[in-house]
Structure 1
Amino acid sequence: MAIPDVMAKLPHCDTNNNSNHHRQNNDSSNNNTDDVRIERTLAVLKSIETHDTTVADKYINPTKYIQHNLEVDDGRDQFKDIVVRPPGDNKVEFARYFRDGDHVVVHSNYRLPNFYQNSRVAAFDIFRFEGDLIVEHWDNLQVVPNKTVSGHTMFDGPTKVTGLDKMDENKRVVREFIEKGLIKKDKAVISKLLSPTSYTQHNPNIADGRDAILNALDLFTAKTLHAVYGSGNFVLGLVEGEMDGKHVAFFDLFRVENGLIVEHWDTVEEIPPKSEWKNKNGKF
């Protein structure tokens, strides 16, 4: 069965970048590798909609697939049996995506009736490659509400990767914002790094603007920044914390412009007790 032509149907995202995560990869300036890895990642995710298990056979390592979704065990066959093969009217729509070294990050809009009934789900998926095969996966999913405070959806907004020469600076901005602003709740740092005039918020429970996030600091507790991935103006932080008395993961995607954070998307997902994990790898 032919691999679906997912690249032709997607919003334009410039994938030719040479940015690196702190887990550095030497081939990150290879544009052909960028294209291959992103295309294979999107094909694997699209196979959830098409139920085509041959895609995973082609693009996921047959002997090494480390799974951080705590509802699924390790291994390529587990991904096929639990996620791809079961019948259902699944839908996978891509909002934005980029590559950082060995990692490909995808922000998606899912319909997964076997897991979430009729609800739409916002998701961040991260795949790690060794060579041209996927060997590891992280994700974070949140049910999309009917209404948002800001009026924006959890998906709309810019998709194009720009400012590749600012990658290191943009990662520094986001790391400082999370570690000092969100974790230490330093309002001066938040005020310094968020745009005072144009901050677009896609978290469904928070309004646009810098003041809104300052007023929302008591609603959650960010404890640990586990990883940062980025390309150009987009930077994703993986954060562990608490909200509403629950142990949760925050996956926060920021858009940075001229040294200031101007836009934010996120997903928040509860981390189940360790006794319920289907694998031993942990969320992060």
Structure 2
Amino acid sequence: MKIDNERHLLALLLDRCGTFVAAATLADLLHITPAAVHRHIEALQARGAVIAYHYDAGYCLQEVPVRLYPDFIYDSLSTVRIARHIYYFPRIDSTNSFAKKLAAEGAADGTLVLAEEQTAGRGRMDRTWLAPAFSSILCSIIFFPKLPPAALFRLTMIASVAIVNAIRRICGVTAHIKWPNDIYLGGKKVCGILTEFSADPQQVLYAVVGIGLNVNNEFSEHPELQSTATSLRLERGKTVSRFALLVALLEELDDQYHILNTGGVEAIRRSWEQHALI
């Protein structure tokens, strides 16, 4: 019950982020006492939520934690399939490697594996993917698509479109897709996609789509990348909320996956071509 109340309280504050809500109002909505509300507020603050308090006005969620905690994600999502199950790691070797193990064991369609840092992150052709902790969105999504192996590229296409849409939605900038698996912004790479799968001759058994999106990277420790890679922070000149961007990305991907599953291949192709680099 304690965890449920904390999650419900968080959801109420997220819906009113930046606005004060009276303690009595929160208590009535949650059917608990104002003192219990305060205890739950302290628990959320201990997990990194920045919540202001005013004696008359009540509580105001001012900032979500730096860490991409699953509870915060769950309470902000409006997805049907994507990220209804989340595995979260502060540090992992590779989200794709872990996701493939889960998929082989029968994980749910749309399961998300999320990490703050990878020690063995990989891109296409086994290139190393470098990203300091808490700077990027590093995740893998498990799919069980009804596709033949020859059509697997459609998953990479919907991921590309979802990423571009999420960047535009949160950052107000236009990114472009470079075939087969890169997203470019300002002439430099801002995101990479790695799709891995298991299949028999007729059917994809499962697929894992890994995403590495440079959000607040600065590349000061890797100057050799500065001529070819960029981040949303570098392009916008200010810090970008990884939380808001991740939620937008998951919701956009959920929309695109629904279109794919309902036969909207032509709509996906048109969206992809609209954002493709010529």
- The answer, yes or no, to whether TM exceeds 0.5 is no
- Larger strand percent: 1
- Larger helix percent: 2
Q: What TM-score does the superposition give when structure 2 sets the normalisation length? A: 0.32
Select the structure of larger CA radius of gyration. 2
